[in-house]
Every structure is written in C-alpha cells, then in structure tokens.
C-alpha cells in the first residue's frame, strides 16, 4: 500500500514537531507537581501560568478568565452545568445539531427536570434561524442559557457569534458556545465578543490530546465541576497536565502566527476537492453552507446510496485514505449522524466528511478522487 492519506482533521490532527519540542522538557526533567512549593513545583507552576498568559493574550482575554481542562467535552459540561446550577438558568435554548458533548448534557439536565429545553429552528442550509432564536428569547422571562456551537464539526457551518451574543445581551441570557472547531483556526477577540463561555481542545490544531480550554467571562462566577483539590484557582481539582498545557499554548501560538497562510492554503484544498468531485463524481452533493459561512477545513459530501457507496469509508480505508461519516465521536452509532438527519431529509444519500490540514496536498486530493472514481 502507498503512503496513507489522512483527511479527517476535524476528528484530530497530528502534533506539530515544534509543539512536541516545547512539551518534552515537562515529560522528562521538569516533572514537579505544580502544587509543590519547592523548586521542582515552582518551575512547572511558572510553565502553566506562562501558558495561561500566552493563551489569554492570543484570545484577547484576561488570564483569570482562562481555565485548562482535559478536553472540549469537559469544558462544555462544566459551562452548561455551571450555568444551570450556579447562574440560575432554568431554560436552555440549543440546536439539534450540536456536538454530543452539548446535546447529551442538555438532555441529561432536561431528564432531571432541572431545566426546560427549546430547540432553535434551522434554515435550509443548516444555519441557525436567528429570527426564531430571538422569538424564543423574547417569549419567556425565564433565566436562559443559549448554547450554540461556533462551527459545526460535521457540516462546517459557522455561527455569527457577535449577532447571537448581542441577542443574548438584549434578553439577559447566558451565552455558551462550543468553539472546539474554531479555537486555533480563527482569530478571537473575547473582550469585544459578548459571550460568557467558550471552549477549546488542543488536538484540533496540532496540539496534544488531553488538553482543553474553558473561558469564563470575568463578569460571571460558577463553582467547580470536579472537586477534590484547589488547582486552577479552585475551579478544577486534579494535578495539572503540565506538558499538555504547555503544548496547548505552543500549538495555539503557532496556529495564530500562521493563520493567514494556513487559511488560504487549506481553503484552496477544500475548494479544489469540491471542484474535482463535481467534475468526476456523478450526482455528488454537499451538506451545509459549503461556499458561504463555513469552516475552511471541512467538506461534507453526499453520494447516492448504493451497495458500493454504503461501503465507501471501508473501501477508502483499504486504499489508505482516512475520512469519516460525520463526527468521530459518533462513529459506529446505529442511527448514523444526528446532524445529517437534521439538515438532510433524504435517506437515500450517504455522507462522507473530508477535513483538511496544512499537511495535506493537492496530490493527496487527486489520489482520493481517483480512488472514489474506482469505488463508485
């Protein structure tokens, strides 16, 4: 088999060598517990706080608003549970195409009868209907949490954070956005963005797995989600993942430095693959607002359902090409993708998500197109 082709970068990315180099001292000689007061502990504590300041600077937030977690899922759980438990939210407005880290958390709170849940409608292209969102906000005096993701991990649609944040401000709602697919891929200016919580995960932008981010706006306070220690300024118990935190900050720094060139390069690959699919694959389709407000890293494609297309992912894998049917977190689900069910009402289509990074090439796209031509 020739060299493998990895086109599932929305699931995870390879770690940059420069990130690994930054982490290595904290996997070897700098192994102190950051809570210890002697020199070994002090040097790892300094590393964590330096990383916090670096991340805060890049996101234009205050260091006291930045908390390190294990992943985006933990960060989303912390924010949603905290908004209900500590900020008095008795109602949640969300969408049915959120990541399961959000949908399952919202459903759990609903099942406990802690909240009532309303789902905002979607437009035909998969975007949130902002007029319906405002109608939902205006229709109740209950303290409300709005939880809507910045970019959909399966179809790539981008939410207008500013517009949603302004609506939430107008109706005194708390705004949480799952930004796992955009932190490290788009610039943020959190001092100028009306949002209370955002989340991130280093492995989505060439950092290590096991390192997450939770931003909590300084104007709100929630209690810890995990108990048993005073780490993260009493907000998250457990010995810190020092090398992961260092890796998170270095990966975000590199992503920010190279944002303009990466955006152009990766976006061009996405459009090239879209054009090649349209040229060579009969009746190919695309999910979401693919040429509009969309992630430059994600292309959600659909093909007519046939015996061959239903085995497409496996056949691609046999040729060394890695893609997914939607989210890696829902792979293997018997009912398929909940996102695709909401945005595409045609059961006779098969969806494949291709997602790209700076390490992909046109030659890889060409080889993938040739493989698809042979399979379909």
Same domain, 247 and 281: no
Same domain, 51 and 180: yes
Percent composition of the chain: helix, strand, coil (DSSP 3-state, to 5) = 45, 15, 40
Same domain, 367 and 305: yes
Same domain, 237 and 206: yes
Last residue of a domain, one of 218, 235, 257: 257
How is residue 296 written in tokens?
């430059």
Same domain, 51 and 101: yes
Please list the pLDDT of the chain residue by residue as tens digits (376 residues).
569 999 999 999 999 999 999 999 999 999 999 999 999 999 999 999 999 999 999 999 999 999 999 999 999 999 999 999 999 999 999 999 999 999 999 999 999 999 999 999 999 999 999 999 999 999 999 999 999 999 999 999 999 999 999 999 999 999 999 999 999 999 999 999 999 999 999 999 999 999 999 999 999 999 999 999 999 999 999 999 999 999 999 999 999 999 999 999 999 999 999 999 999 999 999 999 999 999 999 999 999 999 889 999 999 999 999 999 865 554 544 467 999 998 887 888 999 999 999 999 999 999 999 999 999 8
d(CA 74, CA 96): 20
Total length of the chain: 376
Q: Are 312 and 326 in contact (CB under 8 A)?
A: no
Q: What is the pLDDT of residue 344?
A: 83
Q: What is the pLDDT of residue 334?
A: 47
d(CA 37, CA 359): 42
Residue-wise DSSP of 132-148: HHHHHHHT--S-EEEE-
Q: What is the pLDDT of residue 328?
A: 54
Same domain, 284 and 208: no
* Prediction pTM value: 0.95
Same domain, 210 and 357: no
Question: 302 has which bridge partners?
Answer: 285, 351
d(CA 205, CA 19): 11
Q: What is the pLDDT of residue 95?
A: 98
Last residue of a domain, one of 222, 257, 292: 257
pLDDT tens readout for residues 36-66: 999 999 999 999 999 999 999 999 999 999 9
Question: For the chain, how far is it from start to end, CA to CA, in angstroms?
Answer: 20
- Helices 242-257 and 259-280: crossing angle, nearest 10°? 80
Last residue of a domain, one of 257, 279, 311: 257
Same domain, 103 and 230: yes
d(CA 312, CA 323): 10
Per the structure, how many domains does the chain have? 2
Integer angstrom CA distances of residue 141 from 81, 84, 94, 136, 172: 20, 15, 17, 10, 9
CA atoms within 13 A on the CB side of 57: 12
Same domain, 236 and 263: no
Same domain, 125 and 85: yes
d(CA 255, CA 92): 33
Catalytic residues: 329
DSSP code of residue 107 = H
Domain residues for 350? 5-14+258-375
Residue 196: CATH number of its domain:
3.40.640.10
Parallel, antiparallel or unpaired: strands 116-119 and 91-94: parallel
How is residue 50 written in tokens?
């330096």
Same domain, 251 and 265: no
d(CA 8, CA 34): 35
d(CA 131, CA 139): 12
Same domain, 136 and 268: no
Evaluated on CA atoms 162, 86, 65, 116, the torsion sign reads negative
Residue 279: CATH number of its domain:
3.90.1150.10
């Amino acid at each position: 088999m020739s060299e493998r082709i990895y086109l599932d970068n929305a699931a995870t990315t390879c770690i940059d060598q420069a990130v690994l180099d930054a982490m290595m001292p904290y996997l070897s000689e700098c192994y102190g517990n950051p809570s210890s007061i002697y020199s070994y502990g002090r040097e790892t504590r300094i590393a964590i706080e330096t990383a916090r300041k670096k991340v805060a600077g890049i996101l234009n937030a205050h260091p006291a608003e930045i908390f390190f977690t294990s992943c985006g899922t933990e960060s989303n759980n912390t924010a949603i549970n905290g908004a209900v438990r500590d900020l008095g939210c008795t109602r949640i407005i969300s969408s049915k195409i959120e990541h399961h880290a959000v949908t399952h958390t919202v459903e759990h709170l609903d099942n406990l009868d802690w909240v009532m849940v309303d789902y905002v409608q979607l437009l035909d292209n998969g975007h949130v209907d902002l007029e319906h969102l405002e109608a939902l906000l205006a229709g109740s005096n209950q303290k409300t949490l709005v939880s809507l993701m910045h970019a959909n991990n399966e179809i790539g649609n981008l939410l207008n954070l500013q517009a949603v944040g302004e609506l939430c401000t107008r109706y005194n709602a708390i705004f949480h956005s799952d930004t796992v697919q955009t932190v490290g891929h788009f610039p943020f200016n959190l001092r100028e963005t009306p949002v209370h919580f955002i989340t991130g995960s280093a492995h989505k932008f060439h950092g290590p797995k096991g390192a997450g981010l939770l931003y909590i706006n300084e104007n709100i306070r929630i209690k810890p989600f995990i108990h048993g220690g005073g780490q993260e300024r009493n907000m998250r118990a457990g010995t810190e993942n020092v090398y992961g935190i260092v890796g998170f900050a270095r990966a975000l720094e590199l992503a920010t430095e190279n944002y303009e060139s990466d955006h152009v390069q990766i976006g061009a690959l996405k459009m090239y693959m879209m054009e090649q699919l349209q040229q060579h694959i009969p009746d190919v389709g695309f999910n979401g607002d693919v040429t509009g407000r969309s992630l430059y890293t994600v292309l959600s494609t659909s093909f007519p359902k046939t015996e061959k297309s239903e085995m497409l992912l496996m056949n691609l894998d046999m040729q060394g090409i890695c893609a997914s049917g939607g989210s890696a977190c829902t792979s293997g689900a018997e009912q398929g993708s909940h996102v695709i069910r909401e945005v595409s009402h045609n059961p006779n289509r098969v969806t494949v998500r291709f997602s790209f990074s700076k390490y992909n090439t046109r030659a890889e796209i060409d080889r993938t197109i040739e493989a698809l031509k042979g399979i379909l």
